[in-house]
Amino acid sequence: MAITKQPKASRSEAFTAEAPDAKPMPKLRGRRQPIALALPPDLLRTIDEFAAQERRSRANLIEIILDDWVQAKRGKEAA
C-alpha cells in the first residue's frame, strides 16, 4: 500500500482553524470560567469603591452587575 500525503489545507481553512473560537472550550474546573477583562482605570476605581461599600470582592460585584444586566435584557425581550 502506498503512503500518500495529506492534502494541503486551503488558506481560508488554515485561517479559520487559527481563530480562538475554532478550538473546543476548555473543561471547567468548577462552575466558573476565568476571563480576562481590560477596564479603564476610572471605572475600575468606581467598581472597587462600590465593592468595598457592599463588602464584596471586585469579581463578585462585576458578576452581580453583569447578571442583573443580562436578566434585565431577557425581561425586555420577553415583553
Number of folded domains that form the chain: 1
For 29-71, the DSSP string reads SSS---------HHHHHHHHHHHHHHT--HHHHHHHHHHHHHH
Assess if residue 67 is contained within a domain: yes
Helix (H) or strand (E) holding 73: helix 58-78
Q: What is the pLDDT of residue 79?
A: 61
Assess if residue 74 is contained within a domain: yes
Range(s) of the domain holding residue 77: 38-79
Residues 6-31 have pLDDT tens digits of 767 677 777 777 777 777 766 767 78
Look at 1-5, 15-19, 36-40, 46-50 and tell me which has the smallest mean pLDDT: 1-5
55 pLDDT more than 90: yes
Assess if residue 31 is contained within a domain: no
Assess if residue 11 is contained within a domain: no
